[in-house]
Structure 1
Amino acid sequence: MEPPLDPYADGRLHARPDVLRQVAHQRHAPLEAGTHQLAFADGRKAVLHVPPNANDDGRRLHLLLLLHGAGGQHGGGDHIALAHAMRHGALLLMPEAEGNSWDFLRGGFGHDLAFIDRLLLWTMQRYEVDQHAMSIAGFSDGASYALSVGLMNGMLFSDILAFSPGFMAPLRREGEPRVFVAHGKEDRVLPVARGAAIAQRLAQEGYDVVYEEFDGAHIVSPPLARAALHRLEQ
């Protein structure tokens, strides 16, 4: 008998802010403003930044999910995203992959996507998340994962920010998320041609795409990171 298929093998996320608003008994006490290290009973970890006034009645918050590269590296993008979240009052979620990189790069969607879904649900149970202002971003392997997950869950994420991606491999498509891709011209880890090809293909498929190259290597360009985050406000 074949083993049962992983429930997240299709790449689908299930957490939704509008559903949780209808189930009052599933609400939990929020954390205070600040940056929190989250550790769960199964050993999974994440960072959550909560902006000031997050718990004001009726306020719905933007949410940015930021995914690291191989080995847990954000490429300098984490502090930029944190500064943006603090300045503009957004929730910032930074989960850790179970292994050296994200599950799909190690064989298929599964444990990491399940953890991201659980983390989104955990956050939505504590804060009023704006269902029309949720974004997914990543650097390097995290950018490839963000593109893949974001394109499959385009009814959940309005924007995808990909910094130095290597590929995209969505199992299906839904919605029409906007896409921002940035890549360094001197990138020797993932050549700039990869990012350019991804952006060109998505534009040809009808997505709203912004593509930017910069003079640099395999890093997140601070000016382009700020430009990408500024786009989320438009």
Structure 2
Amino acid sequence: MPTLSGNLARGPVLPARISTPSDRRIRQKRTTRVWRGTGSATHHRIWKDDGDGDRYMNSSRFIAAALALVAALQSAAPAAREFGGALSARPVVHTETPATPGRHRVGSAVLYVPQATAADEPAPFLLLLHGAGGKGEDIFRTFKAQADKRGIILLAPNSSGRTWDVALTMGNRWTPPTFGRDVKRIDALLREAFVRVNVDPRRVAVAGFSDGASTALSLGTHNVELFSATLAFSAGGIVPQWNDVPSRVFFAHGTKDPILPIAIARDSLAPALRASGFAVTFEAFDGGHELPGPVLDLAMEWWLRTAQ
């Protein structure tokens, strides 16, 4: 078990919550197969939240599924690689005046430029990915105060379906999760946003909550040339195609999370990335499937401090 880098369980925390009823309903309706890496191997844990907590496979069923999974991985790996997760968008050198402070629309996404940014100075940039059943507007509202406080440009798109397609493929029992059409949409939105705002290429990161965290992990670790850091709040899975050149990853997870138990991220996702060379920070807090304000503040400090 990895050593936690910190514990925020010092009394009750009043969160800026972004856990939604629709997020919970979607999770409860389907059995979620969480794919996780241990070193260079991938395997899965199957669980279902029935309102009373998570249930796990018994050992004989798990062993049988694991054996079948090994064969499936061998046959599915070539097909999985066909779904590329690479993003081609990159910050550009601006010759024209960038977008003015305030809210802007980039397709269906919210692009936010805080007053604290200076037009002639590149600013940190954060791609935000919402949870299942949510919208970009939801996670944008959660991060807006941090953007105003720290001068961070935000881009918060909507998923094409009820959640990100990466998360939907995590429900397939026999094949590993893969990237889909959301990648191209995100790439196009990033490309347009980078033309309109002045971005510091050293301080570009991706963050997400719940299904958005699983998608952020998958995109961030696959595109380290673009994202110097990935921030995953209550993550439950990852596409096992991360880059050979590691970057930095921040996890935060509630110890009482009934939707995506902390063990998934703490005992599987974080150790797998750490074993692959990623610089992993893991913060556990006393709470459920949520993003408390103090945790978010700590995450932003971690990102911007280590991005210098």
- The CA deviation at 1:82 is 1.2
> Could you state the TM-score of these two structures normalised by the residue count of structure 1?
0.84
Who is 2:172 aligned against?
Answer: none
2:100 partner letter: E
Query: For residue 71 of structure 1, what is the aligned residue in structure 2?
Result: 133
User: Partner residue of 1:49?
Assistant: 112
Q: Does residue 80 of structure 2 align to residue 12 of structure 1? A: no
Cα contact 2:114–2:153 (8 A) shared by 1: yes
- Give 1:100 deviation, angstroms: 0.6
Identity percentage over the alignment?
A: 39
Aligned equivalent of 1:88: 150
1:81 is displaced (CA, Å) by: 1.9
Equivalent-residue separation in structure 2 for 1:110 and 1:218 (angstroms): 26
Question: What is the aligned-residue RMSD (CA, Å)?
Answer: 2.5
Q: Is 1:166–1:195's contact at 8 Å kept on the other side of the alignment? A: yes
Structure 2 spans left out of the alignment, 5+ residues: 1-78, 170-177
Q: Offset of 1:188 from its aligned partner?
A: 0.8
Instruction: Return the alpha-carbon distance in structure 2 between the equivalents of residues 98 and 68 of structure 1.
Output: 12
Partners of 1:139 and 1:124 lie apart in 2 by 23
The TM-score normalised by the length of structure 2 is 0.65
Choose which of 191, 216, 220 in structure 1 pairs with 2:261: 191
- In 2: Cα distance, 1:127 partner to 1:78 partner: 17
1:61 aligns with 2:133: no
Matching of residue 165 in structure 1 with residue 235 in structure 2: yes
* Counterpart contact for 1:154–1:177, Cα < 8 Å: yes
Q: 2:277 aligns with which of 206, 215, 225?
A: 206
2:193 is aligned, of 120, 123, 128, to 123
Q: CA deviation at 1:102?
A: 0.7
TM superposition outliers: structure 1 runs of 4+ over 4 Å:
none
Aligned AA (1:130): D
Q: Larger relative contact order (C-alpha < 8 A, sep ≥ 6)? A: 2
8 Å contact 1:77–1:220 — kept in the other structure? Answer: no
Q: Are residue 155 (structure 1) and residue 225 (structure 2) matched? A: yes
Q: How far is 1:39 from its partner?
A: 5.8
Unaligned 5+ segments in structure 1 are none
> 2 CA distance for matches of 1:172 and 1:215?
30
Contact 2:164–2:182 (CA<8 Å) still a contact in 1?
yes
Give the drift of 1:111. Answer: 2.1
Amino acid at match of 1:200: P
1: distance between equivalents of 2:162 and 2:244? 28
> 2:103 corresponds to which residue?
35
Q: Which amino acid aligns with 1:79?
A: R
Alpha-carbon separation, structure 1, partners of 2:300 and 2:139: 11
Conservation of the 8 A alpha-carbon contact between 1:80 and 1:226: no
Counterpart CA distance in 2 for 1:132 and 1:175 is 16
**Aligned partners of 2:233 and 2:244: how far apart in 1?**
22
* Alignment match, 2:93: 21
**C-alpha contact 2:255 2:286 (8 A) present in aligned 1:** yes
Take 1:204 and 1:213, find their aligned partners in 2: how far apart are those partners? 20
Q: How many residues align?
A: 217
1:138-190 superposed Cα distances (whole Å, 9 cap, x missing partner) = 00000000001000001110111000000111424143221110111111111
